Amino acid sequence: MIGGAFALLCAGAVASPTLAQSSLAMLDSLDKGEWQLRFRDGSPARKVCVRSGRELIQLRHSASGCNRFVVEDGRNEVTVQYTCPGDGYGRTNVRKEGPALVQIDSQGIVGGRPFQFSAEARRIGSCQ
C-alpha cells in the first residue's frame, strides 16, 4: 500500500507543473502599445512597449532564455515565477484593473542582488 501511495504522490508531482503551465490569456487581453510604469517607491517612471503583455513579467530581467512557471493564471490576475540561468530569478504578480491599467508586484534576484518593487502600469499611447 505504501508503494501505491508513493506512486500516486509522484504522479501528482509530475502532473502538477503541466497543469500549472497555462495560456496567460489575461496578458493577451491588455491593450497593446506604450505603457508607463510608476513605481510606488518613487523610482523614476519607465516606459515599456507592450506587444503581448508578457513584457510585464520580467521587468528586471531583460535576457531571453529564462524559464517560466505559471503559478496563477486567472481572468484578472497572473503570477509567474521565472529563472534566468546565470542572472537570477523572480516572481511577478500582475493584476488587471482594466485593459489599459494593471498593478505589478515583483521580487527576486538580479545580478546577485535582491530587488522588490510595486508599480502601476498604464497605457499611454502607441509604441515609439
Query: For the residues of 88-114, what is the DSSP string, one character each?
Result: EEEEEEEEEEETTEEEEEEEEEETTEE
> Which three three-digit cell numbers place residue 110?
538580479
Q: Is residue 98 in a domain? A: yes
Q: Is residue 1 in a domain? A: no
Q: How far apart are the first and last CA of the chain?
A: 63
- Residue 62 has a pLDDT of 82
- Residue 63 has a pLDDT of 75
Q: Is residue 18 in a domain? A: no
**Segments in the chain forming alpha helices (H):** 2-20, 25-28
Q: Is residue 19 in a domain? A: no
What is the domain count for the chain?
Answer: 1
Q: Is residue 111 in a domain? A: yes
Regarding pTM above 0.85, the answer is no
Q: Is residue 31 in a domain? A: yes
- Residue 17 has a pLDDT of 34
- Residue 15 has a pLDDT of 35
Q: Residue 100 sits in which domain range? A: 25-123
Q: What is the pLDDT along the chain (128 residues), one digit of tens a residue?
A: 444 444 443 444 333 333 345 689 999 999 999 999 999 999 999 999 999 999 999 999 987 789 999 999 999 999 999 999 999 999 999 999 999 999 999 999 999 999 999 999 999 999 98
Q: Is residue 7 in a domain? A: no
Q: Is residue 6 in a domain? A: no
